[in-house]
Amino acid sequence: MKIENFIEVIHACRYCFMCRHLSGSANVTFREADTPRVRAILLDNVLRQPELLAKPDLIDTLYAADLSGTCRSNCEKHFDEIGLLLAARQDLVAAGLAPPRVAALAEQFRQRPIKPELSGQGDTLYFIDYQSAALPEIPAAFERLMQAAGIQYRKAENACPGKVLQVLGYDDEARQRAESFAAAINVAKAKTLVVSNPAAYYTLSCDFPAWGIELNCQVMHSSEFLAALDLPYRKKAGPLYYLESDFLKNYCGGYEHPHRLLARLGAEQRDFGNNQEESYSCGEAALVLPQLNPKLARLMLDYVCARINDPAQDLLVCAAPYTRARLAEVKNLQVLSLEELAATLL
């Protein structure tokens, strides 16, 4: 079983209460089973009695995890509870125990194109993943910024490199898709590959190397790319609340480029929520939580909305298209992506 590779994590987490207040799922379900400690206890029992893996309650718990990485990043020894959860999901898939809703969602993403459609000219290639494409305001804002900078660029669209399949537990299939995606990108011979979605950025810059997959270009999140441009901003952003991306903050170890871009834009960043450790991404790292568990996804959205001081006036800025899309479902909220914010200041 894959979880055997995480025995040290299981033994450490099962006795520790320290991060339970940072579990996004547990904070809205109020279930102890949604904390890293109890999940570790359950999986420790699976190691002793493998037949327990088939228990419906355990399967539900494993797919209810928000995967924010907040507990791992704030853990004193950074025990990899995210790796443990993904390994457990892989074990479920290998045993034929993936719930029907998971298997159906995986099939949907299998049907998505692997190789992107390329268009345009230039050394910079902008990858528009499915979450970014669902918010056309983001690619449009990026295009306006590139025009202001006088930079020609190419687009890579309509492709899925496999991150969702990996998160659902289909790791081998995800790796195969990633290899085909990388081959198509390498043929394009771009110097720089820019992505707006932190999930895609993490996949290309971290998952790919871990799988032994090489890209022949530099991978940059749009915040890093835009922060380096000398753009003619005519206005300042002013007061706002920046909602951190799970992938950039917790998975990439305190990725600072969004904050550098906001500083360039003249933003007065205010602290959001109860503390700066919690995740307020609405379940970004789980990627497909609204499809898997709409009730839980709504609870996580409500949890974030309840912490907005003045919903009609406060400006919320997100790095993740996922978070931007979730918050856009709530009427009268002022929410923008980093790209949209920058474009409005030209």
CATH at residue 267: 3.40.50
- On whether both 133 and 206 belong to a single domain, the answer is yes
Q: What is the pLDDT of residues 38-64, one digit of tens each?
A: 999 999 999 999 999 999 999 999 999
How far apart are alpha carbons 81 and 73 in whole angstroms?
10
Length of the chain (residues):
346
Run of H or E including 180: helix 171-188
Q: pLDDT at position 192, please?
A: 98
- On whether both 337 and 283 belong to a single domain, the answer is yes
Neighbouring-strand partners of residue 193: 125, 219
Q: pLDDT at position 188, please?
A: 95
* Domain-embedded: residue 112: no
- On whether both 276 and 333 belong to a single domain, the answer is yes
Strands (E), 291-340: 315-318, 334-337
* Domain-embedded: residue 10: yes
Domain count, the chain: 3
Q: Which of 186, 203, 227 is the last residue of a domain?
A: 227
Name, in order, each residue with C-beta under 8 angstroms of 19's C-beta and a sequence gap of 6 or more: 35, 36, 70, 71, 74, 75
* Domain-embedded: residue 232: no
Report if pTM > 0.85.
yes
Q: Which of 196, 227, 258 is the last residue of a domain?
A: 227
DSSP state of 153: E
- On whether both 140 and 214 belong to a single domain, the answer is yes
Which CA distances in Å does 282 have to 10, 100, 253, 289, 292?
26, 24, 19, 9, 14
Q: pLDDT at position 254, please?
A: 78
Q: pLDDT at position 211, please?
A: 97
> Coil, helix or strand for 346?
coil
Q: Which residues of the chain have pLDDT under 70?
A: none
The angle subtended at Cα 271 by Cα 270 and Cα 272, nearest 5°, is 115
- On whether both 124 and 182 belong to a single domain, the answer is yes
- On whether both 258 and 208 belong to a single domain, the answer is no
Range of the domain at 86: 2-97
How far apart are alpha carbons 24 and 3 in whole angstroms?
22
> Coil, helix or strand for 128?
strand
Q: Which of 227, 256, 287 is the last residue of a domain?
A: 227
- On whether both 6 and 64 belong to a single domain, the answer is yes
Name, in order, each residue with C-beta under 8 angstroms of 246's C-beta and a sequence gap of 6 or more: 67, 68, 69, 70, 198, 279, 281, 284, 285, 320
How far apart are alpha carbons 167 and 66 in whole angstroms?
11
